[in-house]
Each structure stands twice: as C-alpha cells, then as structure tokens.
Amino acid sequence: MITPVSAEERSARERINEGQPTVDFEQATPYDRYVGTETLHDLQHTVTDEPEELAFLVTTQVMELYFGLLRSEWLLVRAQLDADDVRSATSTLRRSVRHFEALNAAWAALSWMTPKQFNGFRDALGEASGFQSAMYRHVEILLGLKSRVQLRPYRRAPKIYAGLEEALSAPSLYDAVLKLLARRGFAVPAEVLERDLTEEYRPRDGVEAVWTEVYGSADLALRELAEVLMDVAVQFSDWKYHHVVAVRRSMGAKPGSGGSAGLKWLEQSMRRDIFPELWTARTFM
C-alpha cells in the first residue's frame, strides 16, 4: 500500500536527506509497489530460446497496455460528449492522440526483424494472433468498426465476451459526436440517430452535409472537435499501415497465424475508414 506524502513532508525529507534520494525503506520501494514492476517483469514468458522473441513479446505487451489506455480515454470522451462538455472532450481526445503516437512508435521496436528472425519463433506461437486481442477489439468498437462475428473468439471467456457484447451495443465515439451535433441543431439524419448500434456504421450523404456545415459555421469548439477527431482517424490509419508494413517485412504474403490470409486480409482491413464523412466532406468545403 502506498502512503500519501504531502508537499511539507517532501520538503522535510529533502532537508533530512541533505538533498539526496531516500535509500532506506522498510519494505519494497514505493515505486515498485505503485508500478508493480516485479509483476510486469515476470510477465515475459518466451516459448523459444530465440533472442528476438523477447522483443516481439515485450512490444506486443506494451501495445496491449496502450490499447487499454486508449479505451479508458475514449470512454471518458464519450461521457463528456453525452454531457455536452465539448471542450473537455476535445482536450481528452487531444491527449489520446499523443497516446496513439506512442503506440504507433512501438512498431519501430520490430522494424529490424527479418523473415529468418521471425520464423525462428513464429511456429512456436501456434495460432496466437493479434486479431485475437480483446482490448484491440474494444478500441475498434469504440471507433465504430463493429462486427458481431469478431466477438466469437471470446465466447469461452465469459467476462471478456460480456464486456465486448456491452461495448457492441453501446454508442461509438462517432455516434456520441453525431448525437451531440443533433442536439446543437444540425440536421443529422434520423436513420443515423435511430440505427442499430450493434451494426458497423455506414456513411451517409446527410452526415457529410452536416460536417460541411460545421466547418462553415462560427462554432470554433465544434470545428476543433472535428479536427481532433481527424487526428485520431489519421493515427488509426497509421496504425493499420504500420501493421501491414511490419507483416510484409517479417513474413511477406504467408498465411496468417490465426487462420487468415495474412497480408491480404490486413490490406483489406486497412480500407475500413473511421469517421468516414469527416474524410469525404472535405471535397465540398
């Protein structure tokens, strides 16, 4: 358990230590207890003796942590949008863009891997595939890329499956934004506002017209919200592109570990845009 320390206590400790860090603790250091370093560093269980596998595993685990962070931030954004707090939602989204930049940068940790190095441990991973990441699925669902079929891998994990089912039935970030625009008087089509939320979002001309109107309006807060949504969309596109490049470089067009066509499947997936009318409306501005 971490014992809180006030500013006055920190100043007193500095005087006692004569400016040097504290080096004596009755238990594990407060840093270790807070971060859980022992647990973190005990999570790397490689299945081969290939030295490259550890980098692959650690990078994958780091990505999983960022997926969870993005999910937490975007759930907060959705609540802020529902409360009509546009400025807070924009601020939180802007913060999440920085998280996404760090997530995308993680691909650099694998950019050196050759096919020979990847093949050295790939077979030992069995059918393990990034496609099976439940937290990544949460991220996609929040971005509006919904598919009930893609929940099937988790049917035998009741807690995970229930969480994904709940997410599938809830509004995506884009749904929350469009409802906000409707409350602000923009003519968001009723078929959008009343659609089946478990289905993947399908672009509509009426929403495209709404975004064109938003960008032409005097409402700076809404224009800033639109632009930070575009920042998120760009980062997501970058994520998918970096994934394709990493797979292409390390394994070419071989079949995927999880039963897919590998590179071909990823390239098809890359064509699924989020916030689609924010892209297409630019033609009419």
Q: What is the pLDDT of residues 203-252, one digit of tens each?
A: 999 999 999 999 999 999 999 999 999 999 999 999 988 888 888 887 77
User: What pLDDT was estimated at residue 159?
Assistant: 95
Q: Specify the pLDDT at position 260.
A: 62
pLDDT in tens, 46-105: 999 999 999 999 999 999 999 999 999 999 999 999 999 999 999 999 999 999 999 999
Q: Does residue 265 have a pLDDT over 70?
A: no
Q: What is the pLDDT of residue 258?
A: 61
Cα–Cα distance, 92 to 74 (Å, whole number): 8
Annotated binding site: 122, 243
What is the distance between the alpha carbons of residues 103 and 87, in angstroms, rounded to a whole number? 24
As annotated, the binding site for heme includes 243
- Structure-token pair, residue 14: 């500095």
Spatial separation of the C-alpha atoms in residues 236 and 230, rounded to whole Å: 10
What average pLDDT does the structure give for the chain?
A: 92
Q: Write the pLDDT tens digit of every residue in 154-183.
A: 999 999 999 999 999 999 999 999 999 999
| Residue 164 confidence (pLDDT) | 95
Q: In the chain, where are the structural domains located?
A: 53-284
Which pLDDT value is given to residue 1?
74
Rounded CA-CA distance 194/187 in Å is: 14
**3-state helix vs strand vs coil in the chain, percent to 5:** 70, 0, 30
Fold (CATH) for 53-284: Methane Monooxygenase Hydroxylase; Chain G, domain 1 (1.20.58)
pLDDT of residue 259: 60
Q: What is the pTM of this model?
A: 0.92
Give residue 28's pLDDT: 84
Q: Does residue 261 surpass a pLDDT of 60? A: no
Task: Quote the pLDDT of residue 106.
Answer: 94
In this structure, are residues 187 and 207 in contact, taking their beta carbons and an 8 Å threshold?
Answer: no
Angle between helices 220-251 and 173-183 (to 10 degrees): 160
Q: What pLDDT score was predicted for residue 171?
A: 97
Please say if the pLDDT value at position 189 is more than 70. Answer: yes
- Using CA atoms, how far apart are residues 265 and 2, in angstroms rounded to an integer? 47
Binding residues for substrate: 122
